[in-house]
Amino acid sequence: MKIIKYILTFISGLYLIVAPAYLTHLINQMNCRSINIDLNGSSDNKLITENEINNLVNRSHPSLIGSKIKVIRTCDIENRIKQQREIRKGEVYFTIDGTLRIYVVQRNPVMRVITGDGDYFIDDEGVLVRKRKLYTPRLHVVGGHITISRPMLEGVSILDTSIRRSVLKDIFPMINYIRNDSFWNAQIDQIWVDRDGEIDLIPRAGHHIVHLGTTENFIEKLDNLEAFYTEILPVAGWNAYKRINLKYKGQIVCNKNQ
């Protein structure tokens, strides 16, 4: 019985080694018959198009369809695709029917940053992507006195330890908190950074500005503001104040409209 189990185990192991090699050999003898691009991401996410990916492939291998699979370097195509900042992940491989399969995961923008030097998206990993005319998703907009450093432009995440003294690094967790809170996601429209690096929130309702100060204890500040919104403003009126200051711990200081 032990001998039989040993033989079965050996045959199974041998199959797992030989079968993939045999399939690879068969595929390599075939010609490339077609290209299939799977562009994964939200239907609203148009950071890059299938046509652009197809152009990247053609620049690596101009006569790909009809070429022998064994001469096509899928690693070169994959590396070229991964070099695109808009792409988080890319995989390139051949299927058994001779189809070149290109699987691409786009980045997922969580905020838009507008500076004097450019217009950008920042994704959920903190990576900066230059905005294109291809699409403009509905995101919270961050503007004002913001510096985009060279490492950020080169693809280093704003969350990386090498990125120091960046207000975007401080704003990032607050943006995610606002996005994931139904009340604040509906209320807050824009975030403005003043010359002192302090933050103003610009709501969608009313004609006031909320001065947050720094992002320190931002959850506590927003909790205080929510209480103010639900208990005071319905009585005083949404246009009663021009500035609501949350900078000081445990205080809400308001300036009335004249």
Listing DSSP states for 66-79 in one string gives TSBGGG--HHHHHH
Measured CA to CA, the distance from residue 81 to residue 62 in angstroms comes to: 15
Q: Which pLDDT belongs to residue 45?
A: 64
Q: Which pLDDT belongs to residue 131?
A: 87
CA 5, distance to chain mean position in Å, is 51
Domains in the chain, start-ordered, CATH in brackets? 31-106 (3.10.20.310), 109-256 (3.40.50.11690)
Neighbouring CB atoms inside 10 A of 182's CB total 8
Assigned token pair, 144: 């004002």
Which of 249, 199, 204, 247 is closest to 229 using CA atoms? 204
Helix axes 74-82, 50-60, angle to 10 degrees: 130
41 CB contacts (<8 Å, ≥6 apart)? Answer: 47, 105, 106, 108
Which of 231, 219, 44, 236 is closest to 246 using CA atoms? 219
226 CB contacts (<8 Å, ≥6 apart)? Answer: 183, 184
Measured CA to CA, the distance from residue 55 to residue 62 in angstroms comes to: 9
The single-letter DSSP state of residue 32 is P
Do the strands 209-213 and 241-245 form a parallel or antiparallel pair, or are they unpaired? parallel
Measured CA to CA, the distance from residue 148 to residue 156 in angstroms comes to: 11
Which of 219, 220, 238 is closest to 229 using CA atoms? 238
Which of 107, 160, 163 is closest to 135 using CA atoms? 107
Listing DSSP states for 192-213 in one string gives EE-TTS-EEEEESSSS-EEEEE
- Show the CA angle centred on residue 204, arms to residues 130 and 158, nearest 5°: 30
Q: What is the pLDDT along the chain (258 residues), one digit of tens a residue?
A: 555 554 445 444 433 444 444 445 455 568 888 889 998 765 566 788 888 998 888 887 778 888 887 888 888 899 999 999 999 999 998 888 889 999 999 999 999 999 988 999 999 999 999 887 767 778 999 999 999 999 999 999 999 988 888 899 999 999 999 999 999 999 999 999 999 999 999 998 878 899 999 999 999 999 999 999 999 888 888 888 899 999 988 888 888 887
* Stated pTM of the model: 0.80
Helix axes 167-179, 218-231, angle to 10 degrees: 50
Element (H, E) at 236: helix 233-236
The tally of CA atoms less than 13 A away on the side-chain side of residue 250 is 0
